[in-house]
A and B are shown apart, each in its own frame.
Chain A
Amino acid sequence: MGVEGIGARVVRKEDKRFITGKGRYVDDIKLTGMTHAYFIRSPHAHAKVKKIDSSAALKMPGVVAVLTGQQLVDDKVGNLICGWAITSKDGSPMKMGAWPAMAPETVRFVGQAVAVVIAESKNLARDAAEAVVIDYEELPAVADVHAAIKAGAPQLHPEAPGNQVYDWVLGDEGAVNAAFSKAANVVKLDLTNNRLAPNPMEPRAAIADYDSAEEHFTLYTTSQNPHVARLVLSAFYNIAPEHKLRVIAPDVGGGFGSKIYIYPEEMVALWASKRVGRPVKWTSDRTEAFLTDAHGRDHVTHAEMAFDANNKILGLRVKTYANFGAYMSLFSSAVPTYLYATLLSGQYVIPAIHAEVIGVYTNTTPVDAYRGAGRPEASYLLERMMETAARQLNVDPAALRKQNFITQFPYQTPVIMAYDVGDFNASLDAAMKAIDYAGFPARKAKAKADGKLRGIGVSCYIEACGIAPSKAVGSLGAGVGLWESAEVRVNPVGTIEILTGSHSHGQGHETTFCQLVAERLGVPISQVSIVHGDTDKVQFGMGTYGSRSAAVGLTAILKAMEKVESKAKKIAAHALEASEADIVIENGEFKVTGTDKAIALPMVALAAYTAHNLPEGMEPGLKESAFYDPTNFTFPAGAYICEVEVDPGTGKTSFINFVAADDFGRLINPMIVEGQVHGGLVQGIGQALLEHAIYDANGQPVTASFMDYAMPRADDVPSFNLSHTTTLCPGNPLGIKGCGEAGAIGASAAVINAITDAIGKNNLEMPATPDRVWRTIHAA
């Protein structure tokens, strides 16, 4: 490892612009002649749009246009799509209602766009929006999954009777029934996985600019995957063919999944830009973000686990109701199915698993992949189950886990996933040592003497990342391939540009991707730049989500690097009159091994571009590209243990210690990996203690600002004690597994297991607010 190579804690190249206020986010961009959009949104959870009267608004100063859903229909702009087809157990395809970008007839959640005002400033657009009179006929609404599937419940879409999108199953039901019939003990658990609002700190924004002479659109947008945005906008929404649409995602202020999707606002901005003949800018405010950014989680689950007399797991039976909100968002259908049920084996040998997932429409904001996406729900369920089982069986929870760990790899689970490698004992041992698990009873006793309730909670998570082998996901219903592309351009002076389809919005690609080049070529990272986030610059890419950018995106760069190195070695061998097989690359030079003959990279590059003396038949230039399609998912895994103290007088939870032992395979930059884990852990803690996107029974959101929705703040969370155990991923040449979501996947269960251990009662739903904990402590 060089000072800037793989494994080095290199400070980030991108930081300078962010710490000096020179970041360039979408809302920072101004175009000449730019107008501003303000969306008029439904105040009702379910209503007919009877009449829209914009006449007064159109007379107001600075108003350019007021556009409605009917005009979208008239212009044949397509409805929003869901890109993953799920088949119900009866063989029928999932049942979806249409989702127009602005509702022409019916609104189905509070915040759904009905019309948009385009004006000279945002303030003028907002003023005019107040003057647009919309007649609604309110309809009965339903927000809760159980209420939504009851007979007589308000119906959202005629296409989905009973509000049911699908009833999907995975696993061998007969084998599970057989396992339960011979069980010595059965452990049952009911739990809710609370709905979260994603809340990246940068609200979504879009600027659309239509060039009528070229019939060409440019869209600046807060996207994790600009190429996918362009593909969907072109192929499904009839905005423009791909070569007439450039999508730029500049600096993006966090995504966490919520910026994967193509939302109504970007579509409308593009369409409106053509209609008004000027650039159109829209920037979400925070309340709009709460109302319209795709939410996460929202599962209600009943699960049962069967054990034999020696506490070995025999089987797992899971039934989950997943709340999709009012419409099926882009990848929503896959989240509670292939990203959830496929992880229900966890770190354990579970011979038989059966999962049934019922997807349900409600009059709430659509739900889609968020920070872990299905995997936090699976991990929370399993790790609450293991803890519940340990308490019921009266055994140590860590010991019960160890007794049931998978120890032989590769391991084929009964729910599709085939784990390639891992060492679950190593990570749990590391975490137990870090927190002094053995010393806990003494600490608990001492806390008790001080009037505090001390608890410890374990969570051993596994996730499937490196999304994803295209053929595999295609066979499961995905509408796209999930490979990644890269291009390596060596300039004539020897500097290097890496073009990648991955998108960095906090992950530090501009540093870690350069570290690979430094490792391979021995050049300083200052000589390398990363180009991403612009469909005109990068040929194609699938973007960043699912902890995929290092395992898939960086591997694509490696593949392109190998081609560049191969050609460069031929040029160097020719120049040095040596055999190509004898050329080695060291410290930015191509050397003839065993001699002092060498040629520096800039000279090789220059030779490639002058083309005065290249090997016979070689094309000039030094630029190569690659597409990399992974052969399997990757399986990051680890163990989190937290120790908490609960004040029985207030129900408030305080952290004593939180340790994490993760196995991410090879780390490119440990500093950045640790940062990813810290952030994920706080998301997991936030879900466990604070966060909940709440609707009343009529579908009115009651948590639509930071004053109502409890975001984790610095004084709510602890510092962390991190460590790593390593098994290299055999699925990619760098051995990388991915690290972006682990904390969010594993932390929630550790927290709830610790609190329930502290208070001596097992039933406690998230978020475990002081009020809820106090009530649980004092419940009869």
Chain B
Amino acid sequence: MSTVKLTVNGKAVAVDVEDRTLLVQLLRDHLNLTGTHVGCDTSQCGACVVHMDGRAVKSCTMLAGQADGATITTIEGIAKGDELHPMQAAFRDNHGLQCGYCTPGMIMSAIDIVHRYGGQLDEATVRTELEGNICRCTGYHNIVKAVLDAAGRMKVSQAAE
């Protein structure tokens, strides 16, 4: 057992976990943050993507201990109260989700993509960058639309800040 100290969605937490505990298990089982999902166990599908120190990581294939001291943001931590993150709003407005299972990971990956490209995105880039997130429902068409839409919204909201 080890104590892992980290900041999750702005709150400092210390959790005693078995050493083999995965980050996603810490989030889901210990902190009850069940918005982060497990879809494949092999780092392929991206349902488990969260942000660690501002970068997208797959929480099913890293140990909780590796996140010791890190700042983690999950899908539950990106809206400001009732105000959705622009990426969340864009997924809703563009019908970028159906069953919703891949959606948290998609949104967390997509925010990271927009950050990395500074909002300068086109369809081909979004499709290439989403390679690590699998969706079985939507055929990606509306997810790509949503990410491009959100890239514009995020630029606007950054400009407003």
Q: Report A-chain residues with C-beta under 8 Å of the C-beta of B33.
A: 21
Within 8 A of A (CB), among B117-132: 123, 126-128, 130-131
State the interface size on chain A (CB cutoff 8 A). 57
Residues of A contacting B44 in the complex (Cβ-Cβ under 8 angstroms): 705-707, 711
Closest to B77 in A: A21
Quick one: given A21-B35, A22-B35, A713-B131, are A251 and B100 in contact (CB under 8 Å)?
Answer: yes
B110-144: CB near A (< 8 Å → 1, else 0) gives: 00000000000001001110110111111111111
Interface pair B139/A678, CB less than 8 Å apart: yes
Contact partner of B99 among A505, A671, A674, CB < 8 A?
Answer: A505
If A286-B41, A675-B95 touch, whether A19 touches B101 (CB-CB below 8 Å) is no
Whether a CB of chain B sits under 8 angstroms from the CB of A539 is no
Q: Known contacts A21-B74, A25-B37, A254-B137: does B130 contact A714 (CB below 8 Å)?
A: yes
Give the Cβ gap from A723 to chain B, nearest Cβ, in Å. 14
Cβ of A25 and Cβ of B140 under 8 Å apart? no
Docked complex: A643-682 residues within 8 A CB-CB of B: 671-672, 674-682
Tell me if A199 is interfacial: C-beta within 8 Å of chain B.
Answer: yes
Give Cα distance in the complex from A17 to B33, angstroms.
13
Which stretch from B51-59, B64-72, B84-92, B151-159 is at the chain A interface?
B84-92
A18-B41 CB under 8 A given contacts A28-B34, A678-B141, A681-B139: no
Contact with B along A223-253 (1 / 0, CB 8 A): 0000000000000000000000000000111
Q: Is the CB of B140 within 8 A of A717?
A: yes
A151 touches B (CB below 8 Å): no
Complex Cα distance, B105 from A714, in Å, reads 14
The docked-state distance in angstroms from the alpha carbon of A20 to that of B108 is 11
Would you call B139 and A506 a contact (CB within 8 A)? no
Smallest beta-carbon distance B156→chain A, Å: 19
**Distance of A17 Cα from B75 Cα, bound (Å):** 11
User: How many interface residues does B have (CB within 8 Å)?
Assistant: 53
Q: Chain B residues near A11 (CB, 8 Å)? A: 92-93, 95
Please name all residues of chain A whose beta carbon is closer than 8 Å to the beta carbon of B139 when the two chains form the complex.
675, 677-683, 717, 720, 743
Chain B residues lying within 8 Å of A23, measured Cβ to Cβ, are 35, 100-101
Known: A202-B101, A254-B137, A679-B138. 20 other contacts (CB 8 A): A12-B92, A12-B95, A14-B100, A23-B35, A27-B37, A123-B18, A200-B136, A201-B102, A251-B100, A253-B101, A286-B42, A674-B95, A675-B138, A678-B140, A683-B136, A707-B42, A714-B135, A714-B140, A714-B144, A720-B141
Tell me if A481 is interfacial: C-beta within 8 Å of chain B: no
Residues of A within 8 A of B131 (CB): 713-715
B76 touching A21, Cβ below 8 Å: yes
Point out the residues of chain B lying under 8 angstroms from A287, CB to CB.
Answer: 41
- Could you list which residues of chain A lie within 8 angstroms of chain B, going by C-beta atoms? 11-12, 14-25, 27-28, 123, 199-203, 251-254, 256, 285-287, 505-508, 671-672, 674-683, 705-707, 711, 713-715, 717, 719-720, 743
Smallest CB-CB separation from A511: which chain B residue? B95
By a CB distance below 8 angstroms, the chain A residues around B97 are 15, 18-19
The 5 closest A-B pairs by CB, nearest first: A21-B35, A253-B101, A18-B100, A506-B99, A678-B139
Of the candidates B45, B92, B102, B123, the one whose C-beta lies within 8 Å of that of A16 is: B92
Chain B residues near A711: list those with CB within 8 A.
Answer: 44-45, 134, 136
Are B136 and A254 in contact, CB atoms less than 8 angstroms apart?
yes
Measured CB to CB, the closest approach of chain B to A284, in angstroms, equals 10
> Chain B contacts of A199 at CB under 8 A?
136
Residue of B37, B76, B95 most packed against chain A (CB within 10 A) = B95
Complex: A18 Cα to B99 Cα, angstroms: 8
